[in-house]
A and B are shown apart, each in its own frame.
Chain A
Amino acid sequence: MDMISHIKKLSNAVGVGGLTQAADEVHSMLGNYCDEIERDALGSVIGYRRCGRENAPVLMLEAHIDEVGLIVTDIDDMGFIHVAPCGGVDVRALPAAEVVVFGDKPYPGVVCSMPPHLKKKDKKDILPDIADMGIDVGMSAREARLHIRQGSRISFKPNFVALDDFHVCGKSMDDRIGVAAILYCLDILKRQETEIDLDIAVVFAVQEELGCRGAAVSAFRVAPDYAIAVDVSFALTPDADSSKCGKLGKGPMIGRSPTLDSGMANELVKLAEENDIPYQDEVMGGATGTDAESISDARSGTPTALLSIPLRYMHTPCELIDIRDAQAVGRLIALYAKEGGRRL
């Protein structure tokens, strides 16, 4: 599979809470690898790759397809669109950002930025609240109210680019790159025509950015025996604390936390070492803040592992990743399904 062209399509599709473009995109991509694909009540996409064995254990692979964005709360008399965050968007990246407002059709817009001479003198370096930043779509109030309504979703403008052969950047790499990693895994299994002894359930979940909600109900539906969540985590930048970050290009971050299954983590480490797949440890003292939690405590509980892809500039329009990290995640999961699966 052509990794970059898949990531481009995934990144440029819009999946701000409730919008279905991203779900439609992953649904169609899953068609290459899954016998059955369904959508649950919240909009998550679930695909099954059956091994043919009766009562085979089920390994659930999960990544989320929603993304941070904004939601329309009001339209003022000058025609500016007022919004609330829909997920934890980085406020610092908003002034002058290009966005798309999903009214009766998509409308390009710009987030207002205050000219320097109008900044409040006492708090010059504090940005206004999101509620006070308008969005300029070039419409009068009358026109805006005709085409856009309260509740309309807003995304960053789709803007995927490649910096070089391995580094790509765009909106919503969090967590489309996780989706790409799982598809890469399915592609390996398909190409190798590997016989594996377990069923794989792929869950591309909604509403992670709003509190890991989609994965909870999907996990209940799938009722897996084991689960691996694939998300992104912080990659080091020079201004960050190196103890709280992984490194871009240094491989999957294998999660260690009280909420994660340590046996699965050990198995993943072992497979990585045996197969020369680079990896990094990511140790968290409590909840991981990912779908791993809501999967692990669904129904009567599921052993769950977390693989994170290092990413810079999370929740901005320019999330930057190294595709080799995602490919390594895909290879590692394929090995787990093959080797580890036999031991399950």
Chain B
Amino acid sequence: MTRLKELCALEGVSGREGAVREYILRALEASPAEIQASTDALGNIIAHIRGEKRATNKLAFVAHMDEVGFIITGATDEGFLRFSAVGGIDSSVIFGRRVRINGRYGVIGGRATHQLKGDDKKKEVPLDKLLIDVAAQNKQEALKIAKPGDVAVFDSDFVKLRGDRIKARAIDDRGGCALLLEMAAQTPEYDITLAFTVQEEVGLRGAKTAAFQIEPDIAVVVDSTTAADIAGVKADKQVCKVGGGPVISFMDKRTLYDIELYDTIFETAKKIGVTPQAKSMVAGGNDAGAVQLSRTGVRVAAISLPCRYLHSPSCVISEADFNATLKLLHALTGEFACMGT
């Protein structure tokens, strides 16, 4: 899990993926496999890896480097920073949190609970009413600390909870990046292409240009997805479970997935003794939505890590799910490389 820990420590809000990109390029360079890696105009990494055998399908695996965060829009006269969310951050997880901004700390809060009455005490503060406190005395001082366009992330470290659970920021989708880097760590059975994309959280934008360049026949998106197997949620609303194995999508808000690929994933998992789970709710979306519609169309599948408290400072996943997903991805390389020929 060292790789995941290092990746989660990096800050990479959409459009500012530089640190993550540098890390991944270095990791690819260090691999003994034969890899041709390049970056495109938006900042995507496209890495062609020569396998032991030639694939008849051009097979791509896609994970996004960016994460949700905040972007500074200005400062108040009192010296507090105004901000907007980058990507979908629910307002319930922002109040009372600390953020990192330009190497410093900031605090997001508001007036004390003691000064609120009745239901206001448990009312979420809407995002547009929140400010970042950097302890500046006035507007000028605040703008010296961060200027409009600078970005911030939650301040949250990588912690092992009990058992095999991991808590960290940005597991969405450094988890996918870590899985792809594991795949690149040795020569795969067949040729594959890895795409580490930018700007997923702001509309699957990096995947669009990456897919255009790669022109894959089959693409597997490796991401993380909401696990709602938490207190107070009935079984039919849980989407998927942490510890329940890799999550396979048949449909979400952006994509209707290739049915043959979907079935093959379950069959392959069975063969190698991995237990997958279907994403049991049509919700969310990922880079598959952009890849599927690239050029003349691409067959897509999505395999995700079940993740509790997604897009919060405290994402929780299971190490066993991570390892099972990696095993499945390795096996699928063989299945998909020559499928249909």
Contact = CB atoms under 8 A, between A and B. Distances in A.
Interface in A42-57: none
A1 interface: no
B309 A244 contact: no
Interface stretch (B16-24, B109-117, B180-188, B258-266): B109-117
Given A239-B110, A318-B96, A234 B134 contact: no
B132 to A, nearest CB: 11
A238 B128 CA distance: 13
Contacts of B310: 115
A143 interface: yes
Interface string A67-100: 0000000001010101000001011111111100
Interface string A228-265: 00000010011111001100110000000000000000
Contact of A169 (B105, B124, B156): B105
Interface in A92-122: 92-98, 107-110, 112-118
Contact of B308 (A125, A136, A237): A136
Contact of B232 (A128, A138, A159): A128
Contacts of A169: 98, 105, 107
B135 interface: yes
B188 to A, nearest CB: 33
B114 A314 contact: yes
User: Chain A: interface secondary structure?
Assistant: loop
Interface stretch (B38-46, B158-166, B195-203): B158-166
B123 A312 contact: no
Given A91-B113, A320-B135, A126 B105 contact: no
A318 B161 contact: no
A315 B113 contact: yes
B148 interface: no
A112 B232 contact: yes
B241 to A, nearest CB: 10
A178 interface: no
* Residue among B108, B159, B231, B312 with most chain A CB within 10 A: B231
Given A161-B105, A313-B107, A90 B309 contact: no
A57 to B, nearest CB: 34
A179 to B, nearest CB: 20
A96 B309 contact: yes
Interface residues of A, number: 67
Contacts of A241: 111, 115
Nearest to B167: A110
A39 interface: no
A138 B316 contact: yes
Nearest to A98: B314
A330 B88 CA distance: 46
B295 interface: no
A231 B272 CA distance: 62
B107 A90 contact: no
A34 interface: no
Nearest to A169: B107
Nearest to B119: A126
B109 A313 contact: yes
A17 interface: no
B231 A80 contact: yes
Interface string A136-149: 11110001000000
A114 B234 CA distance: 12
A41 interface: no
Contacts of A108: 159, 161, 167
A238 B161 CA distance: 37
B8 to A, nearest CB: 14
Contacts of B159: 98, 108
Nearest to A157: B159
Nearest 3 A/B pairs, CB to CB:
A134-B231, A93-B96, A138-B165
18 contacts: A98-B156, A114-B233, A126-B123, A128-B232, A136-B316, A138-B165, A143-B163, A159-B98, A164-B104, A169-B105, A234-B111, A238-B131, A244-B115, A314-B112, A316-B96, A317-B96, A320-B109, A320-B135
Interface of A: 76, 78, 80, 82, 88, 90-98, 107-110, 112-118, 125-129, 132-139, 143, 159, 161-164, 166-167, 169, 234, 237-241, 244-245, 248-249, 289, 312-318, 320, 322
Given A95-B92, A240-B112, 10 more contacts: A95-B312, A113-B90, A127-B122, A128-B232, A137-B161, A138-B163, A163-B135, A312-B109, A315-B113, A315-B114
